[in-house]
Amino acid sequence: MELHNQERAPIYEALERFRQMRVVPFDVPGHKRGRGNPELTQLLGEQCVSMDVNSMKPLDNLCHPVSVIREAEQLAAEAFGAANAFLMVGGTTSAVQSMVLSVAKRGEKIILPRNVHRSVMGAMVLCGAIPVYVNPECDNRLGIPLGMSVSAVEKAIRENPDAKAVLVNNPTYYGICSDLRTIVRLAHEHGMLCLADEAHGTHFYFGEGLPVSAMAAGADMAAVSMHKSGGSLTQSSLLLTGPAMQEGHVRQIINLTQTTSGSYLLLSSLDISRRNLALRGKTDFDRVLRLAEYAREEINAIGGYYAFSRELINGDSVYDFDVTKLSVNTLDVGLAGIEVYDLLRDEYDIQIEFGDLGNILAYVSVGDRPREIERLVSALSEVRRRFGRSKADLMTQEYIDPQVAVSPQDAFYAPKESLPLRETAGRVCSEFVMCYPPGIPILAPGERITDPILDYIEYAKEKGCSMTGPENPEIERLNVLKEDE
C-alpha cells in the first residue's frame, strides 16, 4: 500500500492557498467572508468567517471528492487503518445513519444491544430495519448497562440467521467494551457484517493500553466521533470502512442525507485533527490516560464515590475498559448522578459530560491540565461534605428488557394518539423518550410501555434529567399507536 505523508493536511493547505488568491466571491455563503454580517465576524473573527466558503474546483466537493478532500480522506483511512474513510459534517449521527442505511433496508434485521444511541434507532426509522436486541448485562450495583456477552450474540445470530449485521458500541459512554474481535469473527462466519459505534473511541486508534479499535478488530464499518476525543470541531466526524464495503455505494448512501454545502471549517478541523492524531496521538493520549488515572485515584480516596475502572473486566460482558473515561458512581454519597452533575455546575462552575441516576461522567481529554483535574476532585469532595445524605431513597437504573411490538419505522409512521403519561401503560409507543445525554432511548418507537418504564421516566424527570424525544416537550403525554388500527 502506498504510504501517505501524515504531515500533510490537504484541505487546510488548499484553504491557505485559496486565501492568498484573494478571490472575489460571487457565490454563497452570502455573508461574503463576513462583510455582510459584522456581528458574526466580530464574534468569530475575520480569519474564521473568511474560511467559511463554498465548494469549488480548488477546494473540491464533499459529495464527490476528487482532489483535496479525497486526499484528506485517504490520509484519514491510512491513519485509522481503514480501507476507506469518509469525512462527515453531520455529526456522528450521520455516520451512524450511513452505516445502518448501507447494510439494511426495509424488513431486514440488525442484531444490536439495546443501549445504543438514538442515532441508531433513528436510522432504523429511516430505513425500516428490524432491531434484534441482545440484552446487555447490567451491573446492578452501578446501574449501568454493560457490553454484549459473546454467547448472547451467538444466540441472536443462531436465532436470526437472516440478519444482515451486528452492531456493537465500542465503547459505551461509560467506557465498557464487548469482545469485538470475537463478535466480528462470529458475524463474518455467519455472512453478516459488523458495525461499530465508536462515538467514544477515536483515541483507540492512537493511544496505547486502550481497547482494540473497530478497524483493528476487523469490523466492516465504524462511526468515529472526531469531535469528541479526536479534537476536531463539534459536528465533524468520520465514517471508516473495511475492505468488504464498496466505497462508491457507501458514498451514495452518505449523499442521501448529507448536506451539499459541507462546511470547510468542519472539514479543515477534521484534516488538522487527523494530522495531530497521526503525529502525536500516542503521547497526547498517554497524558490523558495518566490524568484520568490520577483523577480516579483521588476521587476514590474521597470516600463514597466509586470511580470505576478495569476491575470491572470479566472476560465477557466487560471484555475491556477505556481507562480515559472518568465514570463515577455517586449513590453511596446519597446523591443521584444527575444531582451531582447539577451541583457541580450550579455551585462550582464545573460542567461535566453527563449525570444519570447513579453515575456521572467527567470527560477528560487532550485539552485538560492537572489544575482542572484538581478543581474537579476538590469540588466532588465539597459536594459530598455539603450535600451528601443517606442513599435510602435512591433508585438505580435497571435494564428493562424492551418488548418490541412493531418495527421502529412502522410505529413512527402509524396512526397515533396522545395520552397522559400514566395512561399509556400497556400501549405501544410511537416516539422516542430519552435522557440527553447520554441519548440512549428509554423507549423507542414500536416498544410496549410498561409500569416500570413509566416509574423510571417519572423518577428521572423528578431528579432533573433533561429529557427529550416526545412531541410533548414536558413529557406529560406520550404518543401511542391507535389500538384499533
Q: What is the contact surface with ligand PLP in residues (CB under 6 A)?
A: 91-93, 96, 117, 119, 169, 173, 197, 199, 225, 237, 439
Which residue lies nearer to ligand PLP by CB, 167 or 333? Answer: 167
Q: Which residues contact 169 (CB under 8 A, 6 or more apart)?
A: 113, 115, 116, 147, 178, 196, 197, 200
How near is the Cβ of 469 to ligand PLP at its closest, in Å?
14
In angstroms, give the least distance from the CB of 169 to ligand PLP.
6
**How many residues would you count in the chain?**
485
Q: How far is the CB of 202 from ligand PLP (least distance, A)?
A: 11
- Burial-class residue 54 by CB neighbours within 10 Å (0-12, 13-18, 19+): middle
What separation in angstroms does the CA of 101 have from each of 63, 122, 133, 156? 17, 11, 18, 21
DSSP 96-150: HHHHHHHH--TT-EEEEES---HHHHHHHHHH--EEEEE---EETTTTEE----H
Nearer to ligand PLP, 279 or 467 (CB): 467
- At closest approach, how far in Å is the CB of 108 from ligand PLP? 21
CA dihedral 401, 405, 407, 412 (to 10 degrees): -100
Q: In whole angstroms, how close is the CB of 462 to ligand PLP at the nearest point?
A: 24
Find the shortest distance in angstroms from Cβ 422 to ligand PLP.
30
Could you give the residue ranges of the DSSP H alpha helices within 128-263? 150-159, 180-189, 214-217, 247-257
Closest CB 406 distance from ligand PLP, rounded Å: 24
Residue 20 and residue 89: Cα distance in Å, rounded? 25
Q: Which is nearer to ligand PLP, 72 or 96 (CB)?
A: 96
Rounded least distance, CB 436 to ligand PLP, Å: 9
Considering the complex, state which of residue 125 and residue 480 has its C-beta at the smaller distance from ligand PLP.
Answer: 125
3-state secondary structure of 223: strand
As measured in angstroms, the least distance from the Cβ of 353 to ligand PLP is: 9
Residue 163 or residue 168: which is nearer to ligand PLP going by CB? 168
Element of type H or E holding 375:
helix 370-387
* Category of 334 on φ-ψ map: left (φ > 0), alpha (ψ -120 to 50) or beta: left
Closest CB to ligand PLP among residues 92, 241: 92
Q: Give me 59's grid cell.
A: 477546494
C-alpha cell at 362: 467527567
**C-beta of 113 vs 242, nearer to ligand PLP:** 113
Q: Where is 41: in which H helix or E strand? A: helix 38-44
User: How far from 318 is each of 215, 312, 364, CA to CA, in Å?
Assistant: 20, 7, 21
Instruction: Determine whether 1 is exposed, middle or buried from the number of CB atoms within 10 Å of its CB (0-12, 13-18, 19+).
Output: exposed
Nearer to ligand PLP, 10 or 231 (CB): 231
**229 vs 237, which CB is nearer to ligand PLP?**
237
Contact between 434 and 441 under an 8 Å Cβ cutoff? The reply is yes
Q: Is 239 in a helix, a strand, or coil?
A: strand
Looking at beta carbons only, is 88 or 411 nearer to ligand PLP? 88
Alpha helices, H only, 236-333: 247-257, 264-302
Radius of gyration of the chain (CA): 23
Angle, helices 370-387/337-348, rounded to nearest 10 degrees: 110
Smallest gap, in angstroms, from Cβ of residue 173 to ligand PLP? 6
Distance in angstroms (rounded) separating the CA atoms of residues 462 and 482: 29
Residue nearest to ligand PLP (CB): 91
Q: How far is the CB of 463 from ligand PLP (least distance, A)?
A: 20
307 is written with which cell numbers?
A: 470511580
Whichever of 110 and 406 has its CB closer to ligand PLP, that residue is 110
Q: Which is nearer to ligand PLP, 196 or 328 (CB)?
A: 196
Min CB(115)–ligand PLP separation in Å: 9
